[in-house]
Amino acid sequence: MDRRSVWAAVSAAGLVAGLLVAGTTSATAADPLVSQGKAVTASSVEGAGLEAAKAVDGSTTTRWASLEGRDQEWIRVDLGTSHTVSRVRLSWEAAYGRAYRVQTSSDDSAWTDVFSTSTGDGGVDDLTVSGSGRYVRVLGTARGTEWGYSLWELEVYGVAGGTPPTTTTPPSNGLGYAFGSRKTPYASGVLRPSGSTSTLDAQVVDYYQRWKSAFVRQNCGNGWSQIISPDADHPYVAEAQGYGMVVVATMAGADPDARRIFDGLVKWKIDHPSSINPDLLAAEQDVNCRSVNGGDGATDGDMDVAYGLLLADRQWGSTGTYNYKQLAVRHINAIKASEVNPQTNLLKLGDWSSAGDQYYYLSRSSDWMVDHFRAFRKATGDGAWDTIRTAHQNLITTLQQNHAPSTGLLPDFVENTNSSPRPPAGQVLESANDGKYYWNACRVPWRIGADAVTSGDSSSLTAARKLNTWVKAKTGGNPNNIAIGYQLNGTQISGGSAAAFFAPFAVVAATDPGSQAWLDALWNKMLQTPVDGGSYFSASIQLQVMITVTGNHWVP
């Protein structure tokens, strides 16, 4: 008999019914081993001879081992097709998991726990579970030793077939992704700032509380919440509301007031529809909370509003005051209908631009949120979002190769997107720096990097690392040398320092295994930078960067 068998039972206290089943049955005992020899990957490998495949080779003398000293690691087996999974058997080497989860997934993206423990003691864990999916993952969250994690064998038993759940039901505490839970691991090799996860999380929460005090408002009554934008053209802009929705939904668990604030932001979105497509958000409101300047939509704000609604659906479910999922899908479909150019599959500036106007083939690089496109594809099942995502990734590659081969920098805007996309020579919308890396494109390293760290996509990783290589060399590894704006060849536009410019580079630094010291320097620069109550823009960007580089960003 195994040294230890763990049987998980569903309690009456509110765990998701049906995830875990106590005891064994004759049917369960008869289910065949389905993982041996299957494709398997891991978040890291300690060294040669300890590859992930060693854990599914049927031999108890070979093993997989993760890198030492890191708590957040995983190993995942691809069963090839969807299976009903009844049993998972883990044969630990001396380096075992004290806290870990066993999870299933149909798409290698959304994961459902079928077992979890925080009291593991090594040996053999023979787990009876009830779940379904093509992928099975063991996610370590706390090591039992000073080493990493190591498994002689990972065995999955089950039968082909079975339909995985199509929705995620929040657990009994009401949260699907409590801040700090890191339920979705990053791509292999992604760095975090040095320090314990508890310290890093506390630093993020501290900055969030100061950001919240500076910018979250409940003005004009009506149950509204807003993010005030003192450095924008109007007191309230869609971009700020989008930032707020993403931030507040992500920080749930660290802020007991998060859902109330978020629902106030949702009400604001509903009560301020775009005058062109009412499923989108009007871009600007005055001090009396009335939409102004035409009341049309802006793509940057709408992208984050839709994404924030998807986060909320996964965080709290959609059975409360607002059906977040339904609102998100409507918003996503409206973006596709009114803010994507159907000829180029590239984002327009807003729903106000239409065929024949001078801005129809103009796009803003900071709007190209690749992880958002992935979330939209998953939420809607619409394959057009794959086409849209690829079009933007291809354009990033083309611009880096043709216009910034030594830096990887992108311009604020790109014109002629229907023929030969290029940076504008002068002003096309905002300033003479529209064709340079300036107050819009400063967000690009964060946006590209967010997809790179979460998806591991080779295109995003290549683009991110190109930016990181350049800026680290340009500044001599000193974040204080990151200027406000550059020409695409790397020539500095102006001096000074702003979080909107230095913080985003931390995300691309995290994609380079050789940039730990550089990442730590950027992190320390952020910690030393107080929240600027006069700039929602810089403060909101830095906060979201801090969330991302600490491993707390996730794609719904």
Catalytic residue ranges = 239, 300
Interacting residues of 38 by C-beta distance below 8 A, sequence separation 6+: 56, 77, 78, 79, 80
- Cα–Cα distance for residue pair 231/533, rounded to 1 Å: 9
- Cα–Cα distance for residue pair 95/144, rounded to 1 Å: 7
Quick one: which of 18, 180, 254 has its CA closest to 113? 18
Residue 535, amino acid: S
Write out the two tokens for 391. 């079009």
Q: Which residue has the tokens 């080497």?
A: 93
Question: In this structure, what are the phi and psi dihedrals at residue 408, rounded to the nearest 5 degrees?
Answer: 80, 5
- Cα–Cα distance for residue pair 348/335, rounded to 1 Å: 10
Per the document, the length of the chain is: 556
Strands 124-143 and 4-7: parallel
Quick one: which of 453, 450, 550, 438 has its CA closest to 504? 450
Kind and range of the H or E element at 102?
A: strand 97-105
Question: In this structure, what are the phi and psi dihedrals at residue 184, rounded to the nearest 5 degrees?
Answer: -115, 105
Residue 78, amino acid: D
The answer to whether the CB of 123 falls within 8 A of the CB of 92 is yes
Strand, coil or helix: what is 74?
strand
Interacting residues of 83 by C-beta distance below 8 A, sequence separation 6+: 34, 132, 133, 134, 156, 158, 159, 160, 161, 162
- Cα–Cα distance for residue pair 412/313, rounded to 1 Å: 32
DSSP 488: T
Ranges of beta strands (E only) in 192-277 are 216-217, 226-227, 236-237
Quick one: which of 205, 199, 210 has its CA closest to 178? 205
- Cα–Cα distance for residue pair 68/80, rounded to 1 Å: 30
Partners of 84 in the β-ladder: 132, 159
- Cα–Cα distance for residue pair 282/292, rounded to 1 Å: 8
Strand, coil or helix: what is 375?
helix
Measured CA to CA in angstroms, residue 501 lies from 318, 368, 423, 496 at distances of 36, 17, 19, 10
Q: Which residue has the tokens 């102004």?
A: 292
- Rounded to 5 degrees, what angle do the CA atoms 458, 522, 545 make? 60
- Cα–Cα distance for residue pair 523/209, rounded to 1 Å: 18
Interacting residues of 425 by C-beta distance below 8 A, sequence separation 6+: 435
- Cα–Cα distance for residue pair 353/394, rounded to 1 Å: 23
Other C-beta atoms lying within 10 Å of the C-beta of residue 257: 13
